[in-house]
Amino acid sequence: MNGSWTSFGGDLHLDLTERRAAGAGLRAALEDALREAVQDGRLAAGTRLPSSRALGEDLGIARNTVVEAYGQLTAEGWLSSRQGSGTTVAQRSAPARGPRGARPGPRPPVFRHDLMSGRPDLSLFPRTAWLAAARRALATAPHEAFGYGSPLGRIELREALTHYLARVRGVRTDPDHLLICTGVSQGLGLLCAALRERGARGLAVEGYGLPPQHAVARAAGLAIRPLPLDCDGARVDRLDERSGAVLLTPAHQYPTGAVLSAERRAAAVRWARERDGYVVEDDYDGEFRFDRQPLGAMQALDPERVVYAGTAAKSLAPGLRLAWLALPDDLVEPVARLKRRADTMSPVLDQLTLAELITSGTYDRHVRRCRLHYRRRRDRLVAALAEHAPRVEVTGIAAGLHAVVQLPPGAGSEAELLARAEAAGISLSGLVWHRAEPDEESDAEPDGERAESGPALVIGYATPPEHAFPAALAALCELLRER
Ligand SMILES: Cc1ncc(COP(=O)(O)O)c(C=O)c1O
């Protein structure tokens, strides 16, 4: 008398046995189970219910019992039934409460303007092109593509990326050294675990970065060792033997926006060679440099010492969870083994679709369109701030999806500004949130060695869809307007 009914096109588990055991009649038990499913949202408003005959058959009860239960719930307003269109969940029966047992938590702040960094304008996702590429990929994929495959990922995507990365970023790799992973975060976790297996104990990172990445490294057993930052990027002269690798964002330091100088690139590679260590190059937005051709990937300096990490999170969408590592020979086996252990391999359909998008040239066209879009956004941000808050300074190179805005003396602390931003309905982050915390006391730099530049905000100018950008920019200008 329990039923998972499927005849309306979806599954819903209805438990009548317990209610029957508690003494309810069959009709009352069914009414009660349906009412509860509507109330707690498992049956959404508008859902079409199975016919009384089909539900009766699914549950092994008389059709009439179902007719009566539907009638009662219709009279109560939970369901509505119209001649010819069957019975549906009534529109006004929106769940009165969350799933059973759920307690409402504290209300999250409501943000009208989203300037949080790290995200692309999701309205630019090339839906039509993606769908067409998915169709073509599905139509031409061999049957074997749908089975268990290499933990490195689909060969079609690894081949497409080999050529694309060589052409656009100067990466020197081949399909046997590329691994497709679920976001850079997973790739970094696998790498850190492989380095830990080889005896590494620490990961050097830039003094400001992405704290969730630091958490990934810690979870793999590596201690975080921040390096000071200046306008030429990370002070790699501070690298020592306590780190097995250094994580860098050479093309566009996240979040401060510096480019790692040529001397420092060479010095970091020298350090890796001498210490049997690695450089992990996070090229998260390398395709989005606006002022001139981006510098090529650092990986080309030494593919056996630099791991290149790229992602579709900025160029397409973070929700795809598609990223790739170009690995030195030594790391292919351990990282692939850990990937297999983690989740066998990344899902194939999106890999095939992305491969198709790249080989057809559509991906290039999409990236060019996004580059122009984000460049205009940045120009608008810089112009608006120059007009309304001339003493704030936009620092970092003209690139990427975010900018750092340094606040002038007297503008208040970062925390005060963030509180005012929240009150104004603006979602954004401050520079301090990005600070890398050392895992050992001795790692702390002497005063003044980090990029201490006073309060600063990190503005994700790419984040809002186009229609929402002017209002978000106006709200930001109002927040920073000098009083
Ligand atoms: C510095 C940096 N690296 C990498 C990524 C991409 O991470 P993932 O591919 O896990 O979404 C981001 C996204 O916000 C980022 O800001």
- CB of 118 within 6 A of ligand 1: the answer is yes
| 98 — pLDDT class (breaks 50, 70, 90) | very low
* Probe residue for ligand 1, chosen from 311, 354, 434 as the CB with the greatest number of ligand atoms within 8 Å: 311
CATH number for 137-360 (one of 3.40.640.10, 3.10.450.50, 3.40.50.2020, 3.40.50.20): it is 3.40.640.10
CATH number for 365-480 (one of 3.90.1150.10, 3.40.50.300, 3.40.50.1820, 2.40.50.140): it is 3.90.1150.10
What separation in Å is there between the alpha carbon of 181 and the centre of ligand 1?
A: 12
Rounded CA-CA distance 430/414 in Å is 6
- CB of 370 within 6 A of ligand 1: the answer is no
Rounded CA-CA distance 40/93 in Å is 10
What separation in Å is there between the alpha carbon of 300 and the centre of ligand 1?
A: 21
Provide the residue ranges of all domains of the chain, joining segments of one domain with +. 2-89, 137-360, 365-480
Among 69-73, 276-280, 303-307, 474-478, the range scoring the smallest mean pLDDT is: 69-73
What separation in Å is there between the alpha carbon of 417 and the centre of ligand 1?
A: 25
What separation in Å is there between the alpha carbon of 401 and the centre of ligand 1?
A: 12
Instruction: Please tell me the residue having the least CA distance from ligand 1 atom 16.
Output: 118
pLDDT of residue 451: 45
- CB of 313 within 6 A of ligand 1: the answer is yes
pLDDT of residue 450: 47
447: left (phi over 0), alpha (psi -120 to 50) or beta: beta
Helical residues (DSSP H) of 392-458, grouped into ranges = 414-423
Count Cα atoms within 13 angstroms, Cβ side, for 427: 14
Q: Which has more confidence, 300 or 86?
A: 300
Percent of the chain with pLDDT over 90: 74
pTM of the model: 0.82
| 57 — pLDDT class (breaks 50, 70, 90) | confident
| Helices 348-359/362-388 angle, 10° precision | 90
Q: Which has more confidence, 260 or 45?
A: 260
Query: pLDDT tens digits for 106-123?
Result: 667 778 999 999 999 999
| 304 — pLDDT class (breaks 50, 70, 90) | very high
| 448 — pLDDT class (breaks 50, 70, 90) | very low
Instruction: Please tell me the residue having the least CA distance from ligand 1 atom 4.
Output: 284
Q: Are 259 and 227 in contact (CB under 8 A)?
A: no
| 10 — pLDDT class (breaks 50, 70, 90) | low
Among 164-168, 195-199, 334-338, 444-448, the range scoring the smallest mean pLDDT is: 444-448
Please compute the mean of the pLDDT values over residues 14-24 and round it to a whole number. Answer: 81
pLDDT of residue 382: 98
Average pLDDT over all residues of the chain: 91
Please compute the mean of the pLDDT values over residues 354-364 and round it to a whole number. Answer: 98
Rank 276-285, 288-297, 440-449 by mean pLDDT and report only the highest. 276-285
- CB of 184 within 6 A of ligand 1: the answer is yes
Report which ligand 1 atom has the smallest distance to the Cα of 187.
Answer: 10
- CB of 208 within 6 A of ligand 1: the answer is no
pLDDT of residue 156: 98
Contacts of residue 343, Cβ cutoff 8 Å, sequence gap at least 6: 182
Instruction: Please tell me the residue having the least CA distance from ligand 1 atom 2.
Output: 284
What separation in Å is there between the alpha carbon of 75 and the centre of ligand 1?
A: 52
Class of domain 2-89 as given by CATH? mainly alpha
pLDDT of residue 447: 42
pLDDT of residue 8: 56
What separation in Å is there between the alpha carbon of 185 and the centre of ligand 1?
A: 7
Percent of the chain with pLDDT over 70: 91
Count Cα atoms within 13 angstroms, Cβ side, for 312: 27
What separation in Å is there between the alpha carbon of 205 and the centre of ligand 1?
A: 15
* Probe residue for ligand 1, chosen from 180, 188, 205, 210 as the CB with the greatest number of ligand atoms within 8 Å: 210
What separation in Å is there between the alpha carbon of 43 and the centre of ligand 1?
A: 36
What separation in Å is there between the alpha carbon of 212 and the centre of ligand 1?
A: 9
Report which ligand 1 atom has the smallest distance to the Cα of 309.
Answer: 4
Count Cα atoms within 13 angstroms, Cβ side, for 450: 22
